Amino acid sequence: MFKHTTGSRRLAGQLLRLLAGATLVFGVAAANAAIKDTKHNLGASNGVNTNFMTSGTDEICVFCHTPHASNTNVKAPLWNKPVAAGSSYTTYNTATSATIDGSVDMSGVSLACLSCHDGTQAMDTMINKPGSGGYNAAGSVTGGTWSGARQDGTGKMINAGEFIAMLGTDLTNDHPVGIQYCGGGVSSGSASTSAASTGSCRDADFNAPANGLIGGARAWWVDSSLGTTNTREKTDMILYARAPTLTGDAMSGNYQPFVECASCHDPHSSNTTFLRVANTQSAVCLTCHNK
């Protein structure tokens, strides 16, 4: 009897663990499948983004990524689109702000977002179209028909009604991107592979970034309240390292963290407006700004 009870308990325990495991697996699977049900699904008959739909393909990732022959001129993984030069954008920095400190370098992942969101090229412009063949280094369109109210008939993004997803090339009315974090960076720099301490924020109005060597290169992020502290996760505000060459700056040439579109947004997220964390009580803003 005693044995039997133990056996049942053990069985019940195993079942519970199994169930917990299954929940975890399903939870993860649901999160991964999310992009299909977001506005970043532009393929045929997507059913969720009827303002932007092309009959050219029913694939999802191909609008942004290709497994082969990707665009290495942009710091976005396996990027499948041509991007504009950073110099084609007017940035926030050049507008009048009496308080801005950071320097702007438009060479990061924001260019990938803007390859659709500036409205200058058809959104099915791809370097490697689906299937065998279809490679064109300069990019070419799928040839499908676009439907939906917030594209211009050829697949370029336009603003209509209250929707302002098309940011244009004038970014002076947008939160700065391609900008150093911390109000001018951190106070002591570090080479990309140095394990040395990387200093603190130059401007105390910012929360200090976390950093670590990941795959031998310096990575930076700001820990949000979700997940584990000092571990980079997609629910943290991701910062993008590069070494700006700034005239007269002692830190010139050292790795510094920068803010890009994908610091605040995860293009695959199922959160409203693709935010890395929900902006409840301005949680996104307060992760970085110490206000």
Site residues, ligand HEC (CB under 6 A): 35, 39-40, 42, 51-52, 60-61, 63-65, 76-77, 97, 99-102, 109-110, 112-117, 123, 150, 157, 163-165, 167, 174-177, 179, 181, 183, 222, 234, 237-238, 259, 261-265, 267-268, 272-275, 279, 282, 284-285, 287-289
Q: Closer to ligand HEC at the Cβ: 1 or 222?
A: 222
Long-range residue pairs from 204-211, CB within 8 A, at least 24 positions apart, any chain: 204/290, 205/289, 205/290, 205/291, 206/181, 206/182, 206/288, 206/289, 206/290, 207/287, 207/288, 207/289, 207/290, 208/182, 209/181, 209/182, 209/239, 209/257, 210/236, 211/257
Q: Closer to ligand HEC at the Cβ: 149 or 250?
A: 149
Q: Closer to ligand HEC at the Cβ: 20 or 28?
A: 28
Q: Closer to ligand HEC at the Cβ: 5 or 99?
A: 99
Q: In whole angstroms, give the CA distance from residue 47 to residue 94.
A: 41
- Closest approach of Cβ 268 to ligand HEC, in Å? 6
Tokens at 54, concatenated: 């092309």
- Closest approach of Cβ 21 to ligand HEC, in Å? 23
Q: Closer to ligand HEC at the Cβ: 77 or 153?
A: 77
Nearest to 259 by CA among 278, 229, 279, 284: 284
- Closest approach of Cβ 289 to ligand HEC, in Å? 5
- Closest approach of Cβ 187 to ligand HEC, in Å? 14
Tokens at 68, concatenated: 């082969």
Is 159:168 a contact under the CB 8 Å cutoff? no
Is 241:198 a contact under the CB 8 Å cutoff? no
- Closest approach of Cβ 17 to ligand HEC, in Å? 28
- Closest approach of Cβ 20 to ligand HEC, in Å? 25
- Closest approach of Cβ 257 to ligand HEC, in Å? 9
Q: Closer to ligand HEC at the Cβ: 6 or 145?
A: 145
Is 89:58 a contact under the CB 8 Å cutoff? no
Q: In whole angstroms, give the CA distance from residue 49 to residue 59.
A: 14
Is 42:57 a contact under the CB 8 Å cutoff? no
Q: Closer to ligand HEC at the Cβ: 135 or 163?
A: 163
